[in-house]
Amino acid sequence: MAVAAGKSRGRLIDPMERYLRTALIAACLSIHSSFALAQADPPATGVTPGVILIMSVLILITAGAAAWLLMWARRNKRRAQASLTWPQVAGKVIESRLTHRVVSGGEGADTIYYKPHIRYAYEVGGRPYQSDTVRFGNLETSVTNKAQAYLTKYPEGSAVSVRYDPADPQVATLESEAATGSLLVFGILMLIMSAACIGLLGYMLTLG
């Protein structure tokens, strides 16, 4: 089931990449058009060049943010899949604790995000290494029990099996999984926003 879900998610990201390239090209063309319209006499459209420029910049920002988030999610997923074939060595958890940060929402509506910090030591070819990667991606969550579960699974002093990249042994993980949920959610949100900006800009340009 996990493999099937991974393949499905990979197919989901690929069409998004094509859309992102289209959105970035559209934004660049819109910026070029805004400068051309600014020099036109009489104006070629009822929409001012400044508005077109602002909308184009918004498209660039949202499409660029979506590209970064989705590419990072894909990178984590690929590294997790690759780690399935990495060599394994014995390791030991040397630090296991919960960290947190507070995000102010205004009017006292603060949100606390928890993140398990688990550091482990291992050796490859007689050389010592340390890593704090449990799985590829961000393990931060607002659910305390979810973060605490990692500390329960990997208590300080416990023995662990470490998968390491044979090409770069300092890259290691305890689990061949990727925490890409939040990256995909925000990436898709940015995609929707960029699509909305493109649609709105197209509508504005048809007003004449």
Q: Helices marked H in 83-159 — which ranges?
A: 144-153
Amino acid at 15: P
What separation in angstroms does the CA of 32 have from each of 25, 50, 201? 11, 12, 14
Output phi, psi for 29, to 5 deg: -65, -35
CA distance 122 to 88: 10
CA distance 130 to 104: 34
Q: What percent of the chain has pLDDT over 70?
A: 67
Grouping H, G, I as helix, E, B as strand and the rest as coil, residue 98 is strand
What's the pTM value of the predicted model, to 2 decimals?
0.60
Average pLDDT over residues 74-103: 89
Angle at 193 between CA 191 and CA 195, to 5 degrees: 70
* DSSP state at residue 105: -
Are 39 and 106 contacting, i.e. CB atoms less than 8 angstroms apart?
A: no
Amino acid at 132: D
Among the ranges given (17-26, 123-132, 143-152), the one the predictor scored with the smallest mean pLDDT? 17-26
Report for 53-62, 64-73, 117-126: range of highest mean pLDDT: 117-126
Within 13 Å, how many C-alpha atoms sit on residue 147's CB side? Answer: 20
Amino acid at 110: D
Among the ranges given (33-42, 48-57, 113-122), the one the predictor scored with the smallest mean pLDDT? 33-42
Q: Which helix (H) or strand (E) holds 172?
A: strand 168-173
Q: Which of 72, 71, 96, 98 lies closest to 160, judged by CA?
A: 96
CA distance 123 to 202: 58
Average pLDDT over residues 84-107: 88
CA distance 87 to 165: 7
